[in-house]
Every structure is written in structure tokens, then in C-alpha cells.
Amino acid sequence: MIFRTELQLPPSEFKIQYDQQILLLGSCFSQNIGERLQKYKFKSISNPFGTIFHPIAIAKLIDYIVQNCKIKNDELINAQSVFVHPNFHSNLGNIDRKKAAKQINHTILTTHQQMKDIKYIFITLGTSIGYRQKNTGHIVANCHKLPADMFQKEDTTIELCLKSLGHAFEQILQLNNQVKIILTVSPVRHIKDGIIENSRSKAKLITVSETMETLYENVSYFPAYEWMMDDLRDYRFYEKDLIHPSEQAIDYIWEKFCFHYFDENTVYIMQKIEKINRAVSHRPFNPTSKEHIDFLTKVEEDRMNLMQIYPWMKI
């Protein structure tokens, strides 16, 4: 008897290598994948601007990066005595207006400089439901807990999402035509907007992803949402809030990510790094014993060998 429908995805035509730069943008699921890439010492930049959920907000962020736009001090808003920008996460805010603008501009510049060398951009779309700032008419990345009457809630159309992302992707390709973009839809349920509304929103994002994949040869889709909803499909794979995937669920989807995008050599290096990571956290019974000293010597040899091959690795 079979008690679940298992999604099997064949290996990707392209393979992510250790010497290739990866940029992750979007919702907290991008952060989840980014943390695992960083754990295994990939050259990854994980959500440098914080979590962003809406396709138009993500597209606008890409515009900032590609064009190296600079934020002006008067664009910042005072939210509970912290100066923030509606197009960026609050983790880039500061109680000092000038410092907040400087931090945002530094992050934009740094990411812009790295963009020409980036091989893969992993983008997770969270929801099509966004908030339009009334005095500017623009959909924001973050409301920063400002008064609700400053914003108009909307469920953005597929056409508008496609237009915004298409413009952003065209800009990326003008700057770096070798980059590959991996789209995914976040498995996190945005049920604060309603269960039916969340389902419709996810359906829109899946359609947007499919259309972008059809329009651009360098765009592909990774079915994280489908693995969560159709393969795991059980509340035991969620956190207590019944919204976010559990650590076990994320590990499962990460395994699928590894199988899909990594070759045997990459997996071999990951195993080496995992061995070193475990060794570092190992608590010896007798730290002065010959066995433990020999063990540490071997770990150090493995660490140095890897860093000679990949000098940028910090192990």
C-alpha cells in the first residue's frame, strides 16, 4: 500500500559548483535554503536586505541592486523611533537617520558589485497580496508596523507581477547574461489573509513562475511548495503555528535541492565539511589523549586541504 504521493524531480541540467556565487532573495524560505548553503560553505549571499514576500517588492529590490540606486535621507520613515525605508526590511533600520541610509546604500552597493559574478539567483515568491502606500501609490516591501490607514491592501494581478519581474530580469541579464534564475513559491502559508485568499495567491505565484520559465531560457522552477503541500502533506511537518514548515520538512526539501542541483563532487565536498563541522562540536572524553590529538590532527589536515582548494572558504 502507498500512503503518500511522492514528487520525483529529475536532476537539473545545470549543476551548482562550489566556486560559483549564489544570491538568495525573497521570503523566509530563501533564508532557510541560504542558511544551509552557508553551513556547507558555498559562496552564497542570503537575503542581504531581509525577507521580502511580494513579487513587485522583490522586482523593485532587483532594480535597486542592478542600477546601484542610492537612498536619500528624506526617503526614510520614522517608525517607533527607528528610521526605516518602505522598500527594505526593518533589519536595515537605525535610530539615526543618516546611519540607516548609509547602511542601506552600502548593502545595495556591495550586492551590485557582486552581481556581475553571480551565477545563480534563487528567488522565493511568498504572496501576491501586498500593501500599497497611499501617498506614493507604490507597493511596499514592509509596512514597519505603521498605521494601517497609510496603506491599501490589494491582491496583485498575474499580469502586473509578470510585468514587474520581467523588467527586473531583463535588467539582470543586461548586467550579467550568464546568470541563471531559480524561482520557487514559498511553502509558508500566509493564512492571516485568509485560507482561500492564500490558496489563490499561491496559485497566482505558481502561474507567474511557470510563465517566467516559459519566457526566459535562464529561468527554472524549483517546486518547494509542491513538496510541502503534496508530498509531505501533513500538519506534523509544520511548526506549532501551523504556518511555517518544520525543521524536518525544510531538511527534506533541502535534500531534494541537493539531489537536483549538486553533482557527486559537490556532495563529496559537502560530506567533508559536514565531517569537520561535527568534529568541531565534538566533546572529547579525554582532551589530552593520544586518540583525541590524532583526531584533531586529521581534522586540521582536512580543513587545510579544503581551504587550499577553495581559499575563500572560512572553516
Domain count, the chain: 2
Pairing mode of beta strands 77-79, 82-84 = antiparallel
Residue 166 CB contacts under 8 Å (≥ 6 apart), including other chains:
212, 215
Domain co-membership, 309 together with 254: no
Domain co-membership, 194 together with 300: no
Which pLDDT score is estimated for 216?
A: 95
Of 186, 177, 266, residue with least CA distance to 218: 177
Domain co-membership, 176 together with 291: no
- Phi, psi torsion values for 300, nearest 5 degrees: -65, -40
Domain co-membership, 195 together with 295: no
**d(C-alpha 40, C-alpha 46), whole Å:** 13
Residue 97 CB contacts under 8 Å (≥ 6 apart), including other chains:
73, 76, 83
Domain co-membership, 230 together with 308: no
Instruction: Name the pTM for this structure.
Output: 0.92
Is residue 47 in a domain? yes
Is residue 141 in a domain? yes
Is residue 281 in a domain? no
Domain interval for residue 291 = 287-315
Residue 77 CB contacts under 8 Å (≥ 6 apart), including other chains:
83, 84, 85, 86, 144, 146
Residue 64 CB contacts under 8 Å (≥ 6 apart), including other chains:
87, 108
Give, to the nearest 10 degrees, the angle between helix 55-67 and helix 158-175: 20
Domain end, chosen from 262, 277, 306, is at: 262
Confidence tier at 302 by pLDDT (50, 70, 90): confident
Region 135-139: mean pLDDT is 93
Q: Would the pLDDT of 61 be above 80? A: yes
Domain co-membership, 184 together with 299: no
Cell triple for residue 1?
Answer: 500500500
Domain co-membership, 242 together with 130: yes
Q: Would the pLDDT of 301 be above 90? A: no
For residue 87, give the DSSP letter: T
- Phi, psi torsion values for 129, nearest 5 degrees: -85, 120
Domain co-membership, 28 together with 135: yes
Give, to the nearest 10 degrees, the angle between helix 28-39 and helix 247-261: 70
Q: Which helix (H) or strand (E) holds 297?
A: helix 290-309
Is residue 272 in a domain? no
Which residues are paired to 44 by β-bridges?
22
Residues 146-184 have pLDDT tens digits of 999 999 999 999 999 999 999 999 999 999 999 999 999
Domain co-membership, 240 together with 308: no
Task: Answer yes or no: are the C-beta atoms of 191 and 198 closer than 8 Å.
Answer: yes
Q: Would the pLDDT of 282 be above 80? A: no
Domain co-membership, 179 together with 309: no
Is residue 306 in a domain? yes
Domain co-membership, 190 together with 223: yes
Cell triple for residue 131?
Answer: 500593501
Pairing mode of beta strands 21-26, 118-125 = parallel
Is residue 10 in a domain? no
**d(C-alpha 182, C-alpha 160), whole Å:** 20
Which pLDDT score is estimated for 270?
A: 93
Q: Would the pLDDT of 284 be above 80? A: no
Residues 5-14 have pLDDT tens digits of 889 899 999 9
Which pLDDT score is estimated for 53?
A: 95
> What CATH number did the domain enclosing 119 receive?
3.40.50.1110
Domain co-membership, 208 together with 300: no
Is residue 209 in a domain? yes
Is residue 3 in a domain? no
